[in-house]
Amino acid sequence: MKFSVVAEYYSKLEKTTKRLEMTALLTDLFLKTPPSELPKVVYLTQGKLYPDFVGIEIGVAEKLYLRALSLASGVSVKELDEQLKQAGDVGVLTERVLSKKPSSSLAAFMGLAEEELTVSEVYGTLDKIAKVSGEGAQETKIRYIAGLLKKASPLEGRYIARIILGKLRLGIADMTILDALAEAFAGGRENRPILEHAYNISSDLGLIAEVVAERGVEGLKGIKPKVGVPIRPMLAERLPTAEEILERMGGKCIAEYKYDGERMQIHKSGDRVVIFSRRLENITHHYPDVVEMSRRHIKAREAIVDGECVAINLDTGEMLPFQELMHRRRKYGIEKAMEEYPTAVFLFDCLYVDGRSLLNLPLLERRRALKEIVDESDRFRLSEHIIASSIEELEEMFERAIADGCEGLIAKSIAEESVYQAGARGFLWIKWKRSYQSKMVEPVDLVIVGAFMGRGKRAGTYGALLLAAYDSEKDQFVTVAKCGTGFTDEELFSLPKVLEPYKRDSKHPRVYSKLEADVWFTPAKVIEVIGDEITLSPVHTCGLDVVRRGAGLAIRFPRFTGRWREDKGPEDATTVKEIVEMYRSQLKKVTE
C-alpha cells in the first residue's frame, strides 16, 4: 500500500473536527488497507509504532530531525531553524522544504517515475529508528530519516515529520478508531462494544484491527487476558453521601480504603514480574521492591492482580502522601530512592490465575481467589475493607480511612453482576472522598488545554492555564477553570518549556471552549487543582445546559496544588459527571 494514500487521508482528517466525518474517513481508509498492513496504519494513525505498554518510542528530538531534513534537502540546519520559527510546525516546514526539492535528474531524464514510499517501508524504517542504540546511534537515525524524506512527497513529508516527533495532531481518539473498525469490518457501530471489550482486555488497537479484519467479530471473542499484556483498569464513579451510595448499591456493598498512591496492575509468571500503571505504562523499573514482594508473596504460578502502591514510613508504618511516592519515578538512582521512599502494596482485585480469566466472576469470588493466592505481610497485603449494610458502618469506615491517611473509600457492588468491567467507569464501583463533604476541601484532576500570556511580573511566561474536565459521553475536554495561582515563580517560568511538546497552532478538535486562549495545547498533561467552590458559569463549557440552560460549571478561585498527575492520562481526569455531582452536593449542603 502506498503511503501517499495514507497521507491524503490524514490531510482530510486534519481539516475536520467532526467526529462523524472523521469516522467515515477512517472507515474508508481502513477498507482500502490490506489486512496485513492494517495494524501498521492503525498504529501510525495513533502516532506510534506499538501499544503504549510495549514501551518502544521513536525517540527523536527536534534538533536531530532538522539535521536529517538538512541532509535530505541540502538546506542548512541554521536556515531550517529560522524557517521553523515562521512555519510554527515541523510538518509544515518539511512540506515546504520538500516542495522545493528537485526530482531525481536521472529518473527525470529517463522519463521514469520515482519510486513511491509504501506503508511497510515507512513503518519499517521508523521501527529501525526507534530500536537503534549504542555508539553512532544518532548518525544512524539521521541517515534513516533522511532516506525516507528523500523519497517522500511534500505531503508525505508533513506526516512523516509529525509522526517522528510525536506531533501528528489529527485529533483522533481510540474510540473513534474503534468506531471506524466496527463500521468497516463488524457490521456497523452498533457492534463497537464487542471491539471495545476486546480492546479493554488487550490494550492493543493494532491487534483488534488485525483480528476483526481477518476473522470478524467472532475472532474477537478469542482475545483473553494474557500475562504481560495489561488489562485496561476498571474505574469508579463518585457520589457525595453514604446514603446515596448504599441506595445505588442495593443496601449492601464492600467498602475499601481509597489509598493515596499509584495504582498498579501486577503480572506474575514464574519469577518474572511486570508492573503496569493506570495509564498502562511499564513501571517495573521504578519498583524493584514491589517486584521482589510480588515474587515472594503471590503463590500462583501465573497471576494478574490489581492494587495500590503507597509510600510509607517504615518506623511508624504511616502512609505518606502520593507526592512522596512520585520520587520513585526516576531513571537513575533507583536503589537510593527505594531506601528513601519505601513502599507498601494493597491489593484489591484478581483478574487472572493460572490460565483462568476471572473477569466475569462477581467481586466476592474474585476477592476469595485473591486471598487464596496471596501470602500476606505488613507491606504486601489485601486492602482494608468491610462489608457494609448501613449508613453508620460506611461513615465509620470513612472516618477510619481518613484517620489512617487515605483519601476516603471505594464502595463496590457485591451483586451477581459485579464483574470486572475492564476500561469502564460505572456505578459498580463508587468513590467517596473528603472533597464531597462540603464545598471543595479536596482537589480535582484537570487537563491543561490552553494558556494565557502573562503581564507585568509574569511577562515572558503564561499568566494562567485553561483547564478542562473530561466529558466521557462526548469524548471531549470541556473547560472548567482558568488557573493562575498556586505556582511558584520557578514553576511559572518553566511552564512554556514543560508544555512546549504539546503546543498547537489552533484549538484541539476534542477541546470545547468558549474562551479563546492565547496558546492551545494537545490535551495531555494533568494537574491537581483545588478551589473554593463550584459555581454556574456563562463562559465555561463543563456541564453546559445540565444544571441550567446556557450555563456551564466553573471552579471558583482555583489554585494549583503543586501536584502534576503524571500517573494519569487526559481521559483519567475528573469527569463532567463528577463535577456535576460535586456541584449538586454543594447545593444540598446549603439547603440543609
pLDDT tens digits, 258-288: 999 999 999 999 999 999 999 999 999 999 9
Q: What is the pLDDT of residue 322?
A: 87
Q: What is the pLDDT of residue 588?
A: 64
Catalytic-labelled residue, pool 40, 258, 525, 568: 258
pLDDT over 70 at 591, yes or no: no
Average pLDDT over residues 395-399: 89
Task: HSE, CB side, 13 Å, CA atoms: give it for residue 547.
Answer: 24
Q: Can you tell me which residue has the cell 540546519?
A: 77
Confidence of residue 200 (pLDDT cuts 50, 70, 90): very high
pLDDT over 80 at 331, yes or no: no
Query: Which overall architecture, per CATH, does domain 444-591 show?
Result: Beta Barrel (2.40)
pLDDT over 80 at 437, yes or no: no
Residues pairing with 302 in the sheet: 269
Q: What is the pLDDT of residue 106?
A: 45
Cβ–Cβ under 8 Å, residues 431 and 425:
no
Longest dimension (CA), the chain: 88
Cβ–Cβ under 8 Å, residues 471 and 543:
no
Confidence of residue 380 (pLDDT cuts 50, 70, 90): very high
Q: What is the pLDDT of residue 479?
A: 97
User: Backbone dihedral region of 355: left (phi > 0), alpha (psi from -120 to 50 degrees) or beta?
Assistant: left
> Burial level of 127, CB count in 10 A (0-12/13-18/19+)?
middle
Average pLDDT over residues 514-526: 96
Query: 301-310, 322-331, 335-344: lowest mean pLDDT where?
Result: 322-331
How is residue 171 written as a grid cell?
485529533
pLDDT over 50 at 105, yes or no: no
What does pTM read for this prediction? 0.80
Sketch the domain layout of the chain as residue ranges.
48-164, 235-436, 444-591
Average pLDDT over residues 57-62: 91
Q: What is the pLDDT of residue 584?
A: 84
Query: 216-220, 231-235, 378-382, 548-552: lowest mean pLDDT where?
Result: 548-552
Q: What is the pLDDT of residue 323?
A: 82
pLDDT over 50 at 555, yes or no: yes
Query: 285-294, 360-369, 454-463: lowest mean pLDDT where?
Result: 454-463
Query: 75-84, 521-530, 531-540: lowest mean pLDDT where?
Result: 531-540
d(CA 101, CA 84): 17
State in Å, rounded, how far the first CA of the chain is from the last one.
Answer: 66
Average pLDDT over residues 137-161: 96
pLDDT over 70 at 477, yes or no: yes
Residues 6 or more apart whose CB falls under 8 angstroms from that of 255 comprise: 385, 386, 387, 388, 393, 394, 397, 398, 409, 410, 411, 412
How is residue 442 written as a grid cell?
479536596
Confidence of residue 207 (pLDDT cuts 50, 70, 90): very high
Q: Does domain 48-164 have CATH number 1.10.3260.10?
A: yes
pLDDT over 80 at 250, yes or no: yes
258 as an active site residue: the answer is yes
For the four alpha carbons of 504, 505, 511 and 517, in that order, the dihedral sign comes to positive
Q: What is the pLDDT of residue 589?
A: 58
Strands (E), 142-246: 235-238
Q: What is the pLDDT of residue 82?
A: 93
Cβ–Cβ under 8 Å, residues 576 and 541:
no
Average pLDDT, whole number, for the chain? 92
Report pLDDT digits (tens) over 13-27.
Answer: 999 989 999 999 999
Cα 332 to the center of its chain, rounded Å: 24
Q: What is the DSSP letter of 277?
A: E
Question: Domain 235-436 adopts which CATH fold?
Answer: D-amino Acid Aminotransferase; Chain A, domain 1 (3.30.470)
